[in-house]
Structure 1
Amino acid sequence: MQVKGNIKIIKAYIAGPGLQKVIAVGALIVLYLFFSFFGNHFFTLDTFVSILDSSYYIGFMAIGITFVIITGGIDLSAGTVMVGSALIGGVAYNVWKFPIALCLVVVMFSAVLFGVFNGILVGKLGLPPFIATLGTQFISLGYCSVIAKVQTQTYPSLNSPDGWFKQLVYKNNGFPMGAVWLALSFLLAWVLLNKTVLGRYTYAIGSNEEAVELSGIKSSSWKVLVYIVNGLFCGFAGIIYAATYSSITPQTGNGQEMYAIAACVIGGTSLAGGIGSLSGTILGVFVISVLKTGLLSMSLPVQWQQVLIGVVVLLAVLMDVIRSRKAKKA
């Protein structure tokens, strides 16, 4: 009986995100050691800070997208919503002359509105998430550029009177404040996903939406809420993106969501839905960040960086497919 019980535990572990999280930890260690030996000045404090800097906006997006993927959905608009919301915030600062604090509220509000829009398309109108969010990607890409009149928007520099927001959310006397906010956002998302009704229904919808409906729960309303949560974290990503890059260029952002989706899958979140964890997602974010920073330290052309990151994404999806097959056999 004990042996059978142990076998069941092992099978459940393989079926869940646990094994892939272990693999993600191993990949993170191997990549860090590899680039430390073969990269140029990789094993330094400055490089470590660079890894953190490149993980912030990807991390915020990935946290929100984790909720969506667990429901069995996807969000292809997160990158353009992130940049587009930051662009509208820049218009509020440069053209509408809003105080910088109110501009940050505009960034959050814009991203949440796009989240509501995605939620209505997927939850209420029943559009496939892939098609719905692909449409939102183009809408956010174009509409935000129209508001900005296709003009690059700039945020105040770190040393200017309005640069306090960068010290608050990005970097203060060299201290990576972004890491603090990412950790706080992780804790908030973890509570939502693991300790609330929203989290339970998120997993339930991804596991068996039909059973959820038969139990009398309106899954459509909960899907809307999940996409709103995703929009909220895209807003956080937009603020940290503005703090990091200062200049926001119209017609950009598409493709950034792929890093976040890859991070989710690397961390064990199943594209089939019903399985995933935020701790795994954060591991995946750092795998992507170490890979990007490490390839730069080896002076590899950008084209080859994209190729290798694409290979990592394909391997992560392949691992997800293999895990799903093993789960069905179990």
Structure 2
Amino acid sequence: MDPAEDRDRRGISVRSIINSAGIGLALIALIIFFSVFTEHFLSPNNLTNILTQITINMILAVGMTFVILIGGIDLSVGSVMAFAAVVAGKAITLPGLGPVELIILATGAGLLAGVACGLINGLVSAYWALPSFIITLGMLNIARGAALHVSDAKTIYSFPFAFEEFGSMLLFGIPVVFLVALVLVFIAWFILNRTVFGRLLYGIGNNEEAVRLAGHPVFWYKVAAFAICGLTAGIAAIVYMARLNISSPIAGIGFELNAIAAVIIGGTSLNGGRGSIIGTLLGAFIIGVLANGLILIGLNDFMRQMITGVVIIIAVILDHYRAKYMSR
């Protein structure tokens, strides 16, 4: 290997480590701050609450990472989650079937609804080369309207007991739904770091034309990224139902903003081509710890929203300087 190339590769590796370490240090600093200034932050019950509360955002952020890596964005995941939850809720309350059949049917229906919305986002955006934020903004309204229409604007409830029990189950003190999210993070990490598909997603974000000239079907890779994002919205819908034992057509409002925030705070560039799923995991933890800690301090909803907004803006500014540093 050429010595200059070796130095460059080692330099990029060191910068990546520094970037991930910086996010981890920020999370540790938040934990220390809230541990000192609040009484119950490190209590077992509160730690369990944090893990439970960040689960849905973590799942949505995993899918959002795939989309942002190719230089896109999905503003519809909150509404798609609500639509998938309503579809699954309708399926799980059908008469004449046993609990196991209902749970399988509902899970499949919810995941299919999420994937379908993601495919539409990807196909329209990629085929006509339109900005994804416009297409997904349209899907945001379509999915929300569909959720309200399918449910007749009513909350769906009365799920099988086994389904409800899953949402509150603990394994060695850790919520099972959080463990599901962790498995999803591992799968996403493997895809992005150990498969050709994942490497090509990075390549599309860095230089789409180069990937196309190399003979790869960029169109289908972009569609697949949005389909994965839709799939994770469907998974989040099932977890949401299991946790709260309801399917509400107004669920997920603003969830897309938290998912985007977790991805950007985690170091994934809005321009695409750079980022990691581990960073997204840490970003989701930062969002969750911040929200929980601010509640324990006693801040009202308005102040919490303001502080979260400031954190998002700071993260985008840091992403700007991080991009300049990584390009050296």
Correspondence 1:265-304 to 2 at 5 A: 265-304=264-303
Map 1:15-30 to 2 at 5 A.
17-30=16-29
Counterparts of 1:173-188 in structure 2 under 5 Å?
175-188=174-187
Deviation of 1:254 (Å): 2.8
- The match for 1:163 is 161
| Alignment correspondent of 2:257 | 258
| Contact in 2 for aligned 1:42/1:294 (Cα 8 Å) | yes
TM-score under structure 1 normalisation?
A: 0.91
C-alpha deviation, 1:226, in angstroms: 1.1
Which residue does the alignment assign to 1:12? 12
Equivalent residue runs for 1:59-208 within 5 Å: 59-94=58-93, 99-156=102-159, 162-168=160-166, 170-172=168-170, 175-208=174-207
Corresponding residue number in structure 1 for 2:53: 54
- Residues 1:97 and 1:170: Cα distance change in structure 2 (over 3 Å): farther
Deviations 1:165-220 (A, max 9, x none): 34345524764101221121112111211122210110110010011112222211
Cα pair distance change 1:34/1:244, threshold 3 Å: same
State TM-score, norm by structure 2.
0.91
Aligned 8 A contact 2:80 2:233 in 1 = yes
- What CA distance in whole angstroms lies between the structure 1 residues aligned with 2:287 and 2:244? 19
Q: Which whole-Å CA distance do the structure 1 matches of 2:96 and 2:24 have between them? A: 46
CA distance in 2, matches of 1:298, 1:326: 36
Alignment partners' CA distance in 1, 2:13 and 2:187: 26
> Does the Cα contact within 8 Å between 2:81 and 2:251 map onto a contact in 1?
no
Q: SS in structure 1 opposite 2:250?
A: coil
Cα distance in 2 for residues equivalent to 1:282 and 1:17:
15
Q: 1:53 to 1:155 in 2, by over 3 A?
A: farther
Match of 1:310 in 2: 309
Amino acid of the structure 2 residue aligned with 1:22: A
Do the aligned partners of residues 296 and 6 (structure 1) sit closer, same or farther apart at CA in structure 2, a change above 3 Å counting? farther
Matched residues in 1 for 2:182 and 2:284: separation? Answer: 13
Q: What is the distance in 2 between the residues matched to 1:260 and 1:322?
A: 21
The question of whether the paired residues in 2 share the 8 Å contact of 1:77 and 1:254 is answered with: no
Letter in 1 for 2:104: A
CA contact (8 A) 1:83 1:241 kept: no
Aligned 8 A contact 2:205 2:273 in 1: yes
Pairing of 1:206-285 with structure 2 (within 5 A): 206-285=205-284
Amino acid at match of 1:37: V
Aligned counterparts of 2:274 and 2:36: Cα–Cα separation in 1: 36
Identity of aligned residues (%): 35
* Alignment partners' CA distance in 2, 1:167 and 1:189: 27
1:43 counterpart SS class: coil
Gaps of at least 5 residues in structure 1 are 157-161
8 A Cα contact 2:55 2:181, kept in partner:
yes
Could you tell me how far apart the structure 1 residues matched to 2:17 and 2:265 are? 11
CA distance in 1, matches of 2:57, 2:96: 29
1:257-310: per-residue Cα shift (whole Å, max 9, x none)? Answer: 111111111111111100011111101111111001111111110000011111
Instruction: Assess if the C-alpha contact under 8 Å between 1:61 and 1:78 holds in 2.
Output: yes
Q: What displacement does 1:27 show?
A: 1.2
- 1:164 CA drift (Å): 1.4
Q: Supply the distance in 2 between the matched residues of 1:97 and 1:126 (Cα, whole angstroms).
A: 46
CA RMSD of aligned residues (A): 2.3
The verdict on how the C-alpha distance between 1:176 and 1:135 changes in structure 2, with shifts beyond 3 A counting, is same
Give a deviation string over 1:221-253, Cα, whole Å, max 9, x none.
110111111111111111111112223332342
Residues 97, 277 of structure 1: CA spacing in aligned structure 2 closer, same or farther, 3 A cutoff? farther
